[in-house]
Amino acid sequence: MDIAFRLLPVPSRGTEPCSHPVMRTIDVLRVANPVLLGFLRTLTAVDAIVLDMFCMDALDVDAELNIPAYIFFSSALGDLAIMLHMPYYYPTAPSSFKDMPKTVLHFPGVPPIRALDMGAAMQDRDSDVAKARLSQCARMIEARGILVNSFDWLEARALEALSRGLCTPGRSAPPVHCIGPLVLPGNRGGASERHACLEWLDTQPDQSVVFLSFGSLGRFSAPQLREIARGLENSGQRFLWVVRNPPEHRSNSVVPDLESLLPEGFLERTRERGFVVKNWAPQSEVLRHRSIGVFVTHCGWNSALEGIASGVPMICWPLYAEQKMNKVHMVEELKVGVVMEGYEEELVKAEEVEAKVKLVMASGLAKEHLYGE
């Protein structure tokens, strides 16, 4: 298969000033339609086009050129079931989700979910961003099909609801095609030397290490980092922890200063059983390592799939976007993890970190969920 990349110019005009990143993204993609149309007309033959789930306005281009359009949905089948049903559900809800945070919502094919666990963009239904996202959700049924990074065995109930049209009452929904799990292989860059954390993991007992990693955008405040550190230290467990600078960090350096961020003496006191990595670790390789016993994750869907594919139980600590919805699927439906309580508060306390790490590592609770042992 021949693969070629074409970088299309981004229109410099036509977008309205907007502070919300989701609105800016939608706006830029919308005004880029003429550029996409012109590019596609230069091609001799186009059998189909695959669109990101934020590119619903490009369906107009596909319709004009009579090209079959498919949507690549990079999150869970359960998230797709919710999003397809949202245009039918939200307009009839008694109020915005933000005004009824503890109210339990019901969507086809997924566990009950609290309103506060819905995506941040949907919390205020009168906001421009919520209206834009609802419009995008409604347009998804115009596609020829939806490709989802999941698999039928994992999310059978959500897939059945989607296939039976329960998420789009009175309308025909496009077929859903499971193409997952799409999990990145290890050693992506082809580096000849292994990361130092892998060498350290080689020296640890099987299933003995707690791995904490929160994605490329997952950042904690300095007080939260100290709470995590205290919880890990008090747990007595081995750990591998990826630390990034706090969002309030003002230094020009992107490399975190661990001595100033973490409790005094923490690194020295835990050096025999802990390894702290600055900014990045080879996550897929780490998760497949024999010494990993549990994965503390932000519940990004790619990370969740890597944990599932590696057979590692998870502690779910959602941070942003659809991660709170993913947490519900992972804990209530898939039974592959437990919740780090207090994630919706300003701080998760050290006592909770300690308790959850001990629970999963000592009792094997999450392992029972994963393997039925």
Whether residues 148 and 274 fall in one domain: no
pLDDT at 193: 81
Q: Are 148 and 52 in contact (CB under 8 A)?
A: no
Q: Is the pLDDT of residue 12 over 90?
A: no
Identify the domain boundary among 119, 147, 178. Answer: 178
- Of 124 and 364, more confident: 124
| DSSP assignment letter at 98 | G
Percent of the chain with pLDDT over 90: 83
Residue 21 pLDDT: 85
- Determine the pLDDT at residue 138: 97
CA distance 125 to 245: 33
Mean pLDDT of the chain: 93
Residues 49 and 96 in one domain: yes
Q: What is the dihedral angle through the alpha carbons of 87, 75, 165, 86, rounded to the nearest 10 degrees?
A: -10
At residue 98, the pLDDT reads 97
User: Given this model, what pLDDT does residue 373 score?
Assistant: 47
134 and 26 housed in the same domain: yes
Task: Note the pLDDT of residue 252.
Answer: 72
At 369, is the pLDDT very low, low, confident or very high (cuts 50, 70, 90)? very low
The pLDDT score that the predictor gives to residue 358 is 95
What was the pLDDT predicted at 192? 62
For residue 10, tell me if it sits in a domain.
no
Q: Are 163 and 214 part of one and the same domain? A: no
The region that residue 262 occupies, defined by phi over 0 for left and psi between -120 and 50 for alpha, beta otherwise, is beta
Name the residue type at position 149. Answer: N
Instruction: State the average pLDDT over residues 38-62.
Output: 95
Query: Does the residue 356 lie in any domain?
Result: yes
Residue 263: predicted pLDDT = 98
Which helix (H) or strand (E) element contains residue 365?
helix 365-371
Lowest-confidence pick of 33-42, 206-215, 361-370: 361-370
**Considering the domain boundaries, does residue 314 fall inside one?**
yes
Q: What are residue 51's DSSP bridge partners?
A: 71
Which among 224, 222, 228 is positioned nearest to 241, based on CA atoms?
Answer: 228
Q: Report, as an integer, the average pLDDT of 191-218.
A: 93
What confidence category does residue 279 fall into, taking pLDDT thresholds of 50, 70 and 90? very high
CA–CA dist 66, 310 (Å, integer): 42
What range does the domain containing 204 cover? 196-248+255-363
Q: Are 173 and 201 within one domain?
A: no
Whole-prediction pTM value? 0.92
Q: Is residue 38 part of a domain?
A: yes
Q: Is residue 5 part of a domain?
A: no
Name the residue among 84, 73, 183 with its Cα closest to residue 133. 84
Q: Look at residue 366 and tell me whether its pLDDT is greater than 70.
A: no
Confidence of residue 205 (pLDDT cuts 50, 70, 90): very high
Q: Are residues 285 and 214 in the same domain?
A: yes
| Residue in the structure block whose two tokens are 């039918």 | 88
Residue 327 belongs to a domain with what CATH number? 3.40.50.2000
Which residue, 301, 372, 262, 253, is CA-closest to 74? 301
**Do both 138 and 203 map to the same domain?**
no
- E strand or H helix at 323, and its extent? helix 323-328
Whether residue 104 is contained in a domain is answered as yes
**162 and 206 inside one domain:** no
Instruction: In the chain, count H helices and then E strands.
Output: 15, 12
In this structure, the answer to whether residues 205 and 114 fall within a common structural domain is no
Residue 287 pLDDT greater than 60, yes or no: yes
State pLDDT tens for residues 77-103: 999 999 999 999 999 999 999 999 999
In a domain, 351, yes or no: yes
Q: Both 127 and 211 in a single domain? A: no
Boundary of a domain, candidates 150, 178, 206: 178
Instruction: Give the model's pLDDT for residue 371.
Output: 47
Is 7 contained in some domain? Answer: no
Nearest alpha carbon to residue 55 among 77, 40, 80, 72 = 72
Structural domain total, the chain: 2
| Chain segment 128-165, per-residue pLDDT in tens | 999 999 999 999 999 999 999 999 999 999 999 999 99
Is residue 232 within 8 Å of 210, Cβ to Cβ? yes
pLDDT for 159-200, tens place per residue? Answer: 999 999 999 999 999 999 999 999 977 655 555 689 999 999
Alpha helix segments (H runs only) across 42-179: 59-65, 77-89, 128-139, 156-163
Q: Helices 77-89 and 128-139 meet at what angle, rounded to 10?
A: 110
Which pair of structure tokens corresponds to residue 216? 């490329």
Specify whether the CB–CB gap between 348 and 373 falls below 8 A.
no
Residues 271, 276, 281: CA angle, nearest 5 degrees: 140
Domain co-membership, 220 together with 326: yes
32-to-36, 38, 87, 182, 362 alpha-carbon distances in Å: 6, 10, 25, 29, 54
Same domain, 204 and 139: no
pLDDT at 116 (0 to 100): 96
Q: Residue 288: is its pLDDT beyond 60?
A: yes
- Helix, strand or coil, per DSSP, at residue 314: strand
Q: Report the distance separating Cα 142 and Cα 150, nearest Å.
A: 21
Asked if 288 contacts 186 with a C-beta cutoff of 8 angstroms, the reply is yes
Average pLDDT, stretch 53-66?
Answer: 96
